[in-house]
């Protein structure tokens, strides 16, 4: 039986998601060829738009090659920041604090349980601070993945992140909060909570 092209965008995107879940795809051209093998012909602009809508990102695989990936769980690469439920205040033993303005050292509000701790333990090499800035070092290619995990925690003490290839800049809300955040990241990476 010859594969039939899906007639809807949803069906086409389901095909793309299925391919990315099972295959390390390095380029849009490679993905277009895999889709064509399933009877799905798609223009590059449509494929690019589909990947964007699916939240696909390029991550460095185990062999060091960049491949497309979809969010595997809420808060994964490509999902929207801050949209998760689940309280991780227990990470830092601050469950019973009354509501107050965010400051350095505040625990994350939202994150799949332990996700940031697992990612930090695997990828965080160092954390250094200056005023309200924290510089996190990672292996090559891991900075954007770590920054995404940080963004998804909705950590009240963090204003935002900027990621390069092996460095994440974390901006604390508190003008002098960098050192407390750096220590929190070091504790996460070492498994101390």
Provide the percentage of residues in the chain whose pLDDT is more than 90.
33
Query: Given a cut of 80, is residue 133 above it in pLDDT?
Result: yes
pLDDT confidence of residue 6: 45
Q: Are residues 30 and 99 in the same domain?
A: no
What total number of domains does the chain contain?
Answer: 2
Q: Are 150 and 168 in contact (CB under 8 A)?
A: yes
Q: Are residues 151 and 95 in the same domain?
A: yes
Query: Given a cut of 50, is residue 184 above it in pLDDT?
Result: yes
Would you state the structure tokens that stand for residue 3, as one six-digit string?
């594969």
Q: Is the pTM of this model over 0.75?
A: no
Q: Are residues 185 and 107 in the same domain?
A: yes
CATH number at residue 49: 1.10.10.10
Model pLDDT for residues 22-78, shown as the tens digit of each residue: 888 999 999 999 999 988 899 999 999 999 888 888 887 767 788 888 775 444 444
Range of the domain at 39: 9-69
Query: Given a cut of 60, is residue 99 above it in pLDDT?
Result: no
Helix locations, 57-142, DSSP H: 115-123
Q: Are residues 95 and 169 in the same domain?
A: yes
Angle of CA points 170, 174, 178, to nearest 5°: 45
């Amino acid at each position: 039986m010859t594969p039939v092209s899906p007639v809807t965008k949803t069906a086409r995107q389901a095909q793309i998601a299925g391919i990315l879940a099972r295959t390390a795809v390095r380029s849009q051209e490679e993905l277009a060829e895999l889709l064509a093998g399933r009877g799905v012909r798609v223009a590059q602009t449509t494929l690019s738009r589909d990947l964007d809508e699916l939240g696909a990102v390029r991550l460095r695989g185990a062999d060091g090659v960049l491949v497309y990936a979809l969010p595997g769980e809420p808060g994964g690469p490509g999902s929207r920041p801050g949209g998760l439920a689940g309280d991780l205040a227990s990470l830092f033993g601050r469950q019973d604090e009354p509501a107050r303005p965010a400051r350095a050292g505040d625990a994350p509000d939202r994150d799949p349980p332990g996700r940031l701790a697992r990612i930090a333990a695997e990828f965080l090499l160092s954390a250094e601070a200056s005023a309200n800035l924290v510089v996190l070092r990672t292996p090559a290619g891991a900075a954007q993945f770590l920054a995404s995990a940080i963004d998804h925690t909705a950590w009240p003490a963090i204003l935002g992140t900027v990621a390069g290839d092996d460095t994440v800049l974390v901006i604390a809300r508190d003008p002098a909060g960098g050192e407390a955040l750096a220590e929190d990241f070091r504790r996460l990476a070492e498994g101390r909570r």
